[in-house]
Chain A
């Protein structure tokens, strides 16, 4: 363990050293976040409107079930399959041949959590609340925007958070191929039998995941109406239905 601390403390590992083709920790963190944000952005653009539409209309719920079935596919296997298919088609100085397969896998991994939670969030809105909004003369779109969406935000957020964690985890595996990210330290360390580097990479990935989740939980606090999150009351309500539901959302695929 002391070797790991030495490795992490070595300033040489915190800066890029082009002469040794070494990419430092900060740059790899940036790469890692970049791969993750691209995928999360795409997944959000696809899954959020779809989930809202399905939840609002109550139609085509099979889409949610189909997306959930995606979860049993092993991410590594899909990554390898796509890389083998796609990589030979990219020429010249580019990483796209490996970046594109990685992003496809990351998007596919992020979609089910976001979609299922968005749908469940809208679907779980108390019918009485929805009827009241209707009674106040709101249109379907207004109900969705002003009532259903804010009420489902806690669930949407928890879906987004678990999607983020899975994406960060799987982005690590992208370094199995010649891409950057914190996984580089894990796989390079593994191949060089430099286990201090390997363990350090693991610790960095773990810290990154925990930090990102912390930031998201703070954002969630700011975004979710206190009327919805129930942070008015001192004792948090324990609703068994949502408790069971929450666990269902947390399939880790990475």
Chain B
């Protein structure tokens, strides 16, 4: 009798397994039933991006305001990482938030939708430095490197690290070797700790700045893959980290929630004013790694998409 009870429990659990697998497709189709009534192209598409984008001003609220675009649903994937790329490639989502330097865009023939109304602000690479450690010599080294980092360079570096799985530090040294930098040591006598956020591009940038400073005579230690901004900015403020590669737009937003600058120069100018007194930003690189709405080439062809504005057209 009791055994029968246990067996039924097991059978019930097993049948739940089947029903759950079956209900999987049902779930997604039910969410399409709740689509926006407007009948735009966007209302037929599932968007995938990081959770934080849901609440960001350049997220769904910004697209609705700037372009009248509202997607059928927003699926939380990851921050321009493999989950987003795989989901877009395999059709779990139709549009995604990826970064413009992502080698996966070219590798998968994804189409980056243009952003004529500058919903997404400028995101130039810029070193954020502890003011005490930003001696003229250090600045000279950092500026010389930043001047060489273009968007193409970033894409190449990411290809090396992410596609070819090269060690970030090796990729950094290869890049520095290609620059044939002067052999002077303007940063001599400075001791600093270089940190990075926890995504490959930032790690390789940190490696580049750190190795360049070391080559210029500084004593450098690295603390890479620290994590998110909330974790490393306090580290910069308390002096446990002295330098981290940053991105102008997001950094400005972090220090000044109400900032409205979108062009690279205006953003940089505002950022210089917004950083706390103990920190400073050296010259920004021309390399830009901004958020973009990306679709597969099939989706782009099917609906004739080239710009975010196209998503608001009737399907």
Contacts and interface: CB of A to CB of B under 8 A. Distances in A.
Contact present between A and B (CB < 8 A)? yes
B180 interface: no
A41 B14 contact: yes
A52 B46 CA distance: 48
A192 B52 CA distance: 4
Interface in B57-96: 73-79, 82-83, 86-87, 89-92
A187 B76 CA distance: 10
Contact of B73 (A18, A38, A88, A94): A18
A112 to B, nearest CB: 18
Contacts of B20: 34-35, 37-38
Contact of B24 (A88, A96, A191): A96
Contacts of A90: 90, 92
Interface of A is mostly: helix
Interface of B is mostly: helix
Interface string A205-217: 0000000000000
Interface stretch (B2-10, B158-166, B264-272, B275-283): B2-10
Interface stretch (A4-12, A42-50, A229-237): A42-50
Contacts of B90: 88, 90-92, 97
A20 to B, nearest CB: 8
A87 interface: yes
A16 B80 CA distance: 26
Contacts of B10: 41, 44-45, 48
B17 to A, nearest CB: 4
Contact of A193 (B82, B83, B92, B230): B230
Interface in A191-245: 191-194, 223-225
Interface stretch (A61-69, A71-79, A124-132, A145-153): A145-153
B92 A177 contact: no
B86 A97 contact: yes
Of residues A40, A93, A188, which shows the largest number of chain B Cβ atoms within 10 Å of its Cβ?
Answer: A93
B119 to A, nearest CB: 19
22 contacts: A20-B54, A21-B54, A21-B74, A40-B13, A41-B13, A42-B13, A44-B13, A48-B10, A84-B82, A92-B90, A92-B92, A93-B28, A93-B29, A95-B24, A150-B2, A150-B3, A153-B2, A178-B48, A178-B75, A178-B78, A184-B76, A191-B79
A188 B92 contact: no
B86 to A, nearest CB: 5
A99 interface: yes
Interface string A15-35: 000111100000000000011
Contacts of A149: 2-3
Contact of B51 (A19, A95, A188, A223): A188
A44 B9 contact: yes
Interface string B1-41: 01101100110111011001100110111010011100000
B4 to A, nearest CB: 10
B178 interface: no
A40 to B, nearest CB: 6
A90 B24 CA distance: 13
Interface of A: 18-21, 34-35, 37-38, 40-42, 44-45, 48, 84, 87-88, 90-97, 99, 145, 149-150, 153, 177-178, 184, 187-188, 191-194, 223-225
Given A18-B35, A150-B3, A187-B76, 11 more contacts: A21-B75, A42-B13, A45-B14, A48-B10, A87-B86, A90-B92, A92-B92, A149-B3, A178-B92, A188-B76, A193-B52
A154 B20 CA distance: 30
B183 interface: no
Contact of B91 (A35, A88, A92): A92
Interface string B167-198: 00000000000000000000000000000000
Contacts of A93: 25, 28-29, 46, 91-92
A20 B13 CA distance: 32
A221 B50 CA distance: 46
Nearest to A99: B24
Of residues B87, B90, B91, which shows the largest number of chain A Cβ atoms within 10 Å of its Cβ?
Answer: B90
Contact of A223 (B5, B12, B27, B92): B5
A140 to B, nearest CB: 16
B44 to A, nearest CB: 12
B87 A178 contact: yes
A225 B76 CA distance: 48
A191 B2 contact: no
Contacts of A224: 2
A108 to B, nearest CB: 16
B55 A194 contact: yes
B50 A191 contact: yes
A41 to B, nearest CB: 2
A178 B13 contact: no
CB-based closest 8 A-B pairs: A41-B13, A18-B34, A21-B74, A191-B51, A188-B51, A38-B17, A93-B28, A21-B73
B34 A19 contact: yes
Contacts of A177: 83
